[in-house]
Structures are given as structure tokens and as C-alpha cells.
Amino acid sequence: MEVFDLGLAFVWEYDTDFINLIEEILHKAGLSTFVVQGHNIDEVTEKVRERKLFFRFYLDRASDAEPSFEEIAKILTRRKTTIINPYKKVHNAIDKASMHLEFINAGLNVPYSIIIPPRNEFENIKLTVEDLSSLGRPFIIKPCNTTGGGVGVVTGAETLMEILQQRIINSNDKYILQEKIYPTILEGRRAWFRCFWAFGKPVAVWWDDKTHIYHELSEEEMLEFGLRRLHYKTRIISRITELDFFSTEIVLNEERKFIVIDYVNDQCDMRFKSKHYDGVPDSIVIQIINNLKSFILRIKKLEAINRNIQGQSE
């Protein structure tokens, strides 16, 4: 059997740079990698099934978009490969309705929200004038289980009709209606942040919700503006979700409260800022990959220690 430290599955062409850099950094650390794409998925799946190939860790950036990757995901899960992020935990984490309630219970500030059921389960819903008034105008309409890139999100809704129209588009999904949150301004910048949880460590960056442009958040800015709690809030979310790698959006509003906006994104866009105007700063991508490297090395070391202890006791 061929054994590799990390299997890397992806289908999005813009993931290529990210995957290449993962391989470069991990190889320098003495770790082995194997890339799974559309051209070899059938062959790789068969080899894994026949126990001719095995991955100790598996970063899956494909099966959510391409069904042909689902079988290998199931096999590797049964074989005790460490999946980054475990599928069962992802299923719960990307449900905005579930996260909304869990975040509140954990003491996190979230926008005032109303959760409505899928149209195919409850065709008629009851929303009063008072309900819509509490949301304010405009308000946000989000499907609860559609993730990434703002798909299906209406950011400037004002009427009940818009809610009803969106329920038709995604009739199998719950919806969450949210008040619109406005950030305070910190020396000319909107206090809107993208916070990554990257393999045991929080990483916060400036992110503008209007332009989608990232900027690095320095230690000096953290101290000057009192932003250390971004890391604390992200740690709380990591404990709730138990995911290895995700991002969330956190806003510092005009009342100086940290509000968690876009709860959990399990498939982080890792395009480089050096190549894409709205990409993640290259230094942040490198930091995340180094965290991944440390994560794998740490677990491998613990497994080796456990094997040694077990061998001595036999």
C-alpha cells in the first residue's frame, strides 16, 4: 500500500495556486502529498477501495461541488483518515439556523434574526408587521444551508414579497432573516473583519463587505483599536463547530459591540491577493498553510508516541 501524509482534492481552477503552495511547504517539511482531481478521481477511488492507496489526512475541496468525489470521501472516513473538516461536523456548522441558536447560547452577539421553515414543508408562513419592523429596513435574506460567495443572499430586502420570492427559489431550505448591521469606522476603514480558524489558531484580517477587498490586520492595529476579542470570538466558534479550518465574518458596530455576521464558511476562498484584487493577502495564505503543516506534524508525533507506548506495554 502507498501511504501519503495528505490527500488534496479540488476541482476549482482557482485553487491551483493554493494547492501548489501547500505541496511546496509540506514537502520542505518532509511530508508527502497526493493531488486528487477530476482526471484521476475514478482511478484513485478504486485504489483506495482496494487498499492500494491511503491518506493519513485528507483536505476535501471537491465533494461539495462534484458528486464523483463523494465515494472516496465515504471510504476514507471509514478507514479512519483524518478528514479536514469532518463531514458530520460540517453539515451542522453550515446550517445558519442551528449556528444562530448555538452562538446565542455561547454568548456571542448575532444580528436580530427570524428563522423561517422550508417552503416545501410549510407553504404558508406568518410574519407580522411587527416582525418586519423589528428587522428594520433594509434587511438581509439568507438561505440557511447554501454557503459561499453570497449565493442566494439578498442584502437589501425591504418587503414581504421578496421573502416569499426567495422561498420559491430554494424551496427545500430554511431561511434566516437578519437585521442589517453597520460597522463603525476606524480611521477611515469599515470595521468589518474576516476571521479564519486555521488548524488551532485564529487569524484575523480586514475585509470590506462592499468591495470584498482584504488588508492585513497588524498587531499594532489590534492593540490600538481593541480588536484582540476577534481572536477570542473565533475560538468560541471553533469550539462550537469543532472544525479544523473555516472563516467567519465579525463586525465591530457603532456601539463597539462585536457582532458575528456570516457564521461559518467551511470552504474558504484562498486565491492570492498578488493575483486577484479581492484575494487573501499572500502572507495570510502562507500562515494558514504553515498552521496546516504544524497540525499534521503534531498529530503524527502524537500517534508515533502512542504507538511506542503501546509497543512497550505489549
3-state secondary structure of 157: strand
Q: How many CB atoms lie within 10 A of CB 74?
A: 12
User: Rounded CA gap, 81 and 7, in Å?
Assistant: 10
State the amino acid at position 160 in one-letter form.
L
pTM listed for this prediction: 0.90
144 has pLDDT over 60 = yes
| pLDDT tens readout for residues 18-54 | 999 999 999 999 999 999 999 999 999 999 999 999 9
Q: Position 3: which residue type?
A: V
Instruction: Report, as an integer, the average pLDDT of 157-166.
Output: 86
Q: Which residues contact 224 (CB under 8 A, 6 or more apart)?
A: none
Residue 143: what pLDDT? 86
- Is pLDDT of 311 > 80? no
In whole angstroms, give the CA distance from residue 53 to residue 44. 8
Residue 155, all three cell numbers: 442584502
Percent of the chain at pLDDT exceeding 70: 95
- pLDDT at res. 234: 98
Report the distance separating Cα 284 and Cα 217, nearest Å: 10
* 308 vs 78, more confident: 78
* pLDDT on residue 147: 54
What domains can you pick out in the chain, each with its CATH number? 2-84 (3.40.50.10140), 112-179 (3.30.1490.20)
Predicted local confidence at residue 291, as pLDDT: 98
